[in-house]
Amino acid sequence: MMTGPLFRIMGLWGRQTGWLLAGLAISLAALVAGVGLMAASGLTIGAAILAGGLAMPAVLRAFGATRVILRYCERLVTHGATFRALADTRVWFFRRIARTSAGGLGFRQAGDVLARLVGDVEALDGLYLRILLPLAAAVLLLPVLVLLVGHRAPGTGTGIGLLFAGAAFALPWVAARSSGAMGAGLAEEAGALRIAALDALTGLREVRAFAAEGRMLAAVQAREAALLSAQRAMTGRTALAGAASFLCAQIAIVAVLSGAGANPAMAIATVFLVLAAFEAVGGLTRAGALAGFASAAARRVIDAADAPIPAPDPIDPAAMPAGSALRFQGVEFRWQSDRPMVFDSLTLDIPQGARVALLGPSGSGKSTIAALALKVVAPRSGQILLGGVDIATLTAAAVRTRIGWLGQTTHLFDDTIRQNLLLARPDADEAALWGALDDARIGEMVRALPDRLETWVGEGGTRFSGGQGRRLALARALLSPAPVLILDEPCAGLDSETERAFLETMNETASGRTVILITHRLLGVERLDRIFRLSNGRAIAAAG
């Protein structure tokens, strides 16, 4: 049902109920002032025509001043309420995505997630302003029109009421029903364009290297053309809906003039009243045509947010164990039901304080070990024990206080060095930050910078070399108090000399912790207690 996703989104706006109701009240008050101004103006003009003179009564001045003030307040409150409601929606969406994407976006596309977080949520901005408020106005105006006009001419009042109901309720409903599928297509095309554009921008270096600018541009332009075609079709539907609503208003005016009788002053006042009423709901037909798009956008947001959590937290979590020994016991795992098995009865013991290397080619499951240990995903069967306690009985947050991680693509945020480090330990003081930088052998370089800890690292750490960026990431991992540290291909992309220096630093700075080094080869400078090779879904001890 098209309205289901929209009601679900509105249910997220509970914290803004006060603002939303205040905006509704002011909007209706402004509507009453506006309609009253038009009716009083018509009555004044009609009386002036009959009397041969024109004077502005106090009621007109009161209605005029009140309408101006209320319209200004309405804009402030209703738009503020909308922005707050959309902010709540984005925060909710981000939190839901974060719950299901602790290991990264996985099989999701970054452009698609961005399209849902930005474009689809933006498409919901008209839900309150363009649909709910005008609908409330229509509900208020319908009986007023029927009573005021029908008081002197019941037949005319009934006819105008039917025309108004058609313009305010029936036509928007028909437009929404007919544009439902079209709105879904428009949302999909908008998302596809964002995916194509983001893909081309993030891969610009490779695009230039292979002289593929023309092909990538053609792909983006094709998506843009598809979006424009969908928008053109939607615009056509919107124009038809608007024309039908306009026609209802004109017929209503003709009906009033036809039944004017001997009281032209009242007829002019009624015309002004009808004009004001139809103008107040004139945007509803267009909103109805766009409701399909809003509903599709809401459904896309909800579908992404409602993805199942790969490793849900227990309802009644167990107490954290004292130790930090890690054991994989009979673990079976595959990423998706249609993908091959990664582990088949994997058993692996990592004693507390040990330094262990996990070797294996790409696809052997090395990084999956890290994902399972960090409770990013859950095994199909078997247990993963931390200090003798199954991590399935612990919360993911508790597990991650015991297990730190440094990956091959560890991200540095477009922020200061300080803020990047505090991600691991928000309460760390200045001494702890410098201690972590010194342990990672990058403290002197940071001290030499003009802004020191306040130096901006750039997007993805672009202001630093690959080796420097990796050492900043190591400092962040070392700042974490976690007694277990997983290093997942930490030297990927580094030259051999930088890699050797990095591993020697790790040897000296990670003492006292359990270290799990995941790599495809060893250089010989690592200090290790055990080495395991992953093969055919099992861990085979290669050295004692």
Going by pLDDT thresholds of 50, 70 and 90, the confidence category of residue 105 is very low
Q: In what order do the strands lie in the sheet with 343-350?
A: 343-350, 326-333, 381-386, 389-390
Please spell the DSSP secondary structure of 114-183, one letter per residue.
HIIIIIIHHGGGHIIIIIIHHHHHHHHHHHHHHHHHHTT-HHHHHHHHHHHHIIIIIHHHHHHHHTHHHH
What confidence score (pLDDT) does residue 321 get? 83
- Tell me, yes or no, if the pTM score tops 0.85: no
**Which residues are registered as beta bridge partners of 534?**
539
CA dihedral 296, 298, 300, 304 (to 10 degrees): -170
Reported as a single tens digit per residue, the pLDDT across 434-453 is 888 887 788 888 888 888 88
Helices (H), 355-402: 366-373, 396-402
Q: Does the domain at residues 3-305 carry the CATH identifier 3.30.360.10?
A: no
Specify the range with the lowest mean pLDDT, choosing from 210-219, 247-256, 287-296, 316-325: 287-296
pLDDT in tens, 272-296: 888 888 888 877 877 777 777 777 7
Q: What are the boundaries of each domain within the chain?
A: 3-305, 326-543
Q: Which residues make Cβ contacts (< 8 Å) with residue 69, sequence separation at least 6?
A: none
Distances in Å between the Cα of 388 and the Cα atoms of 15, 266, 394 are 43, 87, 12
Q: Residue 52 phi/psi, 5° resolution?
A: 80, 15
- Which homologous superfamily is 326-543 in? P-loop containing nucleotide triphosphate hydrolases (3.40.50.300)
Pick the more confident residue, 292 or 518: 518
Which residue did the predictor score with more confidence, 57 or 543? 57
Q: Is the pLDDT of residue 461 over 50?
A: yes
Q: How large is the average pLDDT for residues 202-220?
A: 78
